[in-house]
Structure 1
Amino acid sequence: MIRPARSAVVVVLTLVDPDTAKGAVDRCAWSTVLLVCGVVTFVGVMERMGTIDWLGESVASIRSPLLGALLICLIGAVVSAFASTTGILGALIPLTVPFLMDGQVTAVGLIIALAVSLSVVDSSPLSTSGALVTANAPEELRPRVFGALMKWGMSMAVVAPLATWALFVLPAQL
């Protein structure tokens, strides 16, 4: 099994003594490393272009705070399946202020819904955690593990925002 620390050791060994590192380099799941690097680069480009902020601001301009809260949770979950949950949470929380200002949506309920929605998708194989699980799976099981984690992560990107919105945001209206 390949662990994150082992990958770092492989890089150091390769730089220090390339002859002794030949076997270690072959055991790294380079396709997973490249996948994570590509996704991180893509999300970084989207963030630099302002895509995430634009989406958030577009949702913030919606007149219905309940609908806006649901859309923020959905957008956050989808983006978090490919990026850092903490980073996306930090970017989206300030965008929730317009919904919180009119009192229809409670701060605690919305933050809980947002945090849970963003966190449960971390097992997506396009996210760091899911990619590490996929990389540590035996070679012959990797396609199955990748597929199962992809189904789980993407289904959670839809199910979790709806469920957390219904449990934590909607009751404030009732």
Structure 2
Amino acid sequence: PDRDAGSVGGATRLTPARTATLVALVALVVAVLGFDLDAGLTAVSLAVVLSTAWPDDSRRAVGEIAWSTVLLICGVLTYVGVLEEMGTITWAGEGVGGIGVPLLAALLLCYIGAVVSAFASSVGIMGALIPLAVPFLAQGEIGAAGMVAALAVSATVVDVSPFSTNGALVLAAAPDVDRERFFRQLMVYGGIVVAAVPALAWLALVVPGFG
């Protein structure tokens, strides 16, 4: 079929293939969140079904995937996963938590969360770092609510990084752009966010002692 068969007058038309894809995405979310199925295996299974039903559309879709970006993200996620499995992030967090100055420890934890989240799951990193902050939070010198909020902000705003899942999706889905140039722009912007936001979140939420 023609490449623009799903467009009418410049507007995108909901074709059977697109409808099935949307249904498959909903099914993937339900299967993973509702039935705790493996996300990767479920996604591949649904993709096989869609490819079998609409081979021409699937062939074009595969050709438009930014494979260089996919391979880059897979490599980075694998590397970060190895670090997490080896306990490197926990070790770094525990070392920071052992610093005798709670405010400085809080700032360093925010930076650890930001740097690692730029390459991995923000939620997973928060789940690993928040327990590490408990010992010096128990001292009462830092507000728990402010610390958790600062960690959350530091770990999530860096998702603009092209190495993160969200940033990679934006890069891969951006239409009619120079991907190499866009990648560099996202990387520079992500670097600025990683460098600036943890300190700003620390100043705004931790230093005043909220919570």
TM class by shorter-chain length?
A: 0.7 to 0.9
User: What's 1:54 paired with?
Assistant: 91
1:73-131 CA-to-partner distances (Å, cap 9, x unmatched) read 00110000000000000000000011201111110010011100111100100000000
User: What's 2:48 paired with?
Assistant: 12
Cα distance in structure 2, aligned partners of 1:132 and 1:9? 20
Aligned length: 170
- For 1:126, which of 163, 167, 178 is the aligned residue? 163
Cα distance in structure 2, aligned partners of 1:15 and 1:78? 37
Cα distance in structure 1, aligned partners of 2:141 and 2:54? 62
User: What's 2:111 paired with?
Assistant: 74
Asked if the contact 1:81/1:127 (under 8 Å) is kept, the reply is yes
TM, length-normalised to structure 1:
0.87
The yes-or-no answer on 1:92 pairing with 2:125 is: no
The yes-or-no answer on 1:23 pairing with 2:60 is: yes
Shift of the alpha carbon at 1:25? 2.3
Higher helix share: 1
Unaligned runs of 5+ in 1: none
Q: SS where residue 125 of structure 2 aligns?
A: helix
Unaligned runs of 5+ in 2: 1-20, 26-42
Cα distance in structure 2, aligned partners of 1:110 and 1:42? 28
> Bigger radius of gyration, 1 or 2?
2
TM, length-normalised to structure 2:
0.73
Shift of the alpha carbon at 1:10? 9.6
Shift of the alpha carbon at 1:160? 0.8
Cα distance in structure 1, aligned partners of 2:45 and 2:167? 21
Cα distance in structure 1, aligned partners of 2:109 and 2:44? 36
**Counterpart AA for 1:74:** Y
User: What's 2:208 paired with?
Assistant: 171
Cα distance in structure 1, aligned partners of 2:115 and 2:64? 32
Asked if the contact 1:10/1:25 (under 8 Å) is kept, the reply is no
Q: Which deviates further from its counterpart, 151-160 or 20-29?
A: 20-29
